[in-house]
Amino acid sequence: MIETERLILRRWRAADREAFAALNASAEVCKFLPKRLTREESDAFADRIDDHFETRGFGLFAVERKDSGAFIGFTGLAVPRFDAPFMSAVEIGWRLDHAHWGKGFATEAARVALAHAFGPLGLEEVVSFTVPMNTRSRAVMEKIGLQHDPADDFDHPMLEPGDPLRRHVLYRIGRERAA
Ligand SMILES: CC(C)(COP(=O)(O)OP(=O)(O)OC[C@H]1O[C@@H](n2cnc3c(N)ncnc32)[C@H](O)[C@@H]1OP(=O)(O)O)[C@@H](O)C(=O)NCCC(=O)NCCS
């Protein structure tokens, strides 16, 4: 468990799944993601996150607001499940319920997730990626110090040629820059 000024980052609880399914069904949240998820798909994603923590010792933390105790989404680290020129790598990622955007929560959570990567986990580099149009996610990447080199941009191998979400921008940060 990691605590920030306004948030708790922790392992997932069964009670998080209902709110997680709601945000995964939201058109706003999923605007730049391949699709909205059904309850079953959302639960399967939560299962994969749990498995990732068990097998790798780190993962996408459930994010909880200290003031209300509400589960608001996830922020954390994951090993992508596809091959790409920048693999192998550890990704930093985030997904919050729309009602909790515009408050700096993603950036607050991402900063401690990054510190966790370079501190206790001892990683050498962290990457993040999204579609070029996802300016909110890119802003979080930039605020926490990741840098974009257009030479690293790639076509997501899990999306079909011609899919408007296929092209991705890649951001990186090394431990020496984060220090
Ligand atoms: C990406 C995502 C997590 C970003 O959320 P966000 O709330 O925009 O990000 P931040 O936490 O950095 O918040 C920044 C905003 O909070 C505001 N803010 C308010 N109080 C603040 C505070 N105390 N500290 C910092 N920022 C604050 C900032 O001014 C900024 O507002 P603006 O966007 O209107 O300019 C969110 O858009 C999301 O979940 N998207 C859907 C999922 C997704 O696309 N994930 C990435 C896929 S690769």
Q: What is the mean pLDDT of residues 41-68?
A: 98
Q: Does 44 have pLDDT greater than 90? A: yes
Distance 80 CA to ligand 1 centre (A): 23
Residue 156 sits at φ, ψ, to 5 deg, of -65, 120
The CA 97 to ligand 1 mean position distance, Å, reads 11
Q: Give the phi and the psi of residue 162 in degrees, each rounded to 5.
A: 95, -15
Indicate the average pLDDT of the chain. Answer: 97
Ligand 1 pocket, mutate which of 20, 105, 140, 158 (most atoms under 8 A from CB): 140
Q: Residue 158: which domain range? A: 2-178
Mean pLDDT of all residues in 106-110: 98
Of 71, 96, 170, best ligand 1 pocket probe by most atoms within 8 Å of the beta carbon:
96
pLDDT at 72 over 90: yes
Q: Which of 103, 135, 148 to mutate to test the pocket of ligand 1 (most atoms within 8 A of CB)?
A: 103
52-71 burial: b if 16+ Cβ within 10 Å, else e: bbeeeebbbbbbbeeeeeeb
137 C-alpha to center of ligand 1: Å? 7
pLDDT at site 179: 66
Give the position of tokens 């929560």. 105
User: What average pLDDT does this structure show over 100-127?
Assistant: 97
- Please determine, for residue 32, whether its predicted confidence score (pLDDT) is greater than 90: yes
| Closest ligand 1 atom to 131 CA | 48
State how far the Cα of 73 lies from the Cα of 39, in Å rounded to an integer.
15
Region 96-109: mean pLDDT is 98
| Residue 20 clears pLDDT 70, i.e. is over it | yes
CA–centroid distance for 143 within its chain:
15
The predicted pLDDT at position 177 comes to 85
How sure is the predictor about 178, in pLDDT bands with cuts at 50, 70 and 90?
confident
pLDDT cut 70: percent of the chain above it: 99
Would you say residue 156 has pLDDT above 90?
Answer: yes
pLDDT digits (tens, 9 = 90+) for 129-143: 999 999 999 999 999
Can you give the CATH number for the domain in which 11 is found?
A: 3.40.630.30
How far the first Cα of the chain sits from its last, in Å, is 22
Domain count, the chain: 1
- If you measure from the C-alpha of residue 19 to the centroid of ligand 1, how many angstroms do you get, rounded to a whole number? 19
* Closest by Cα among 46, 11, 36 to 98: 36
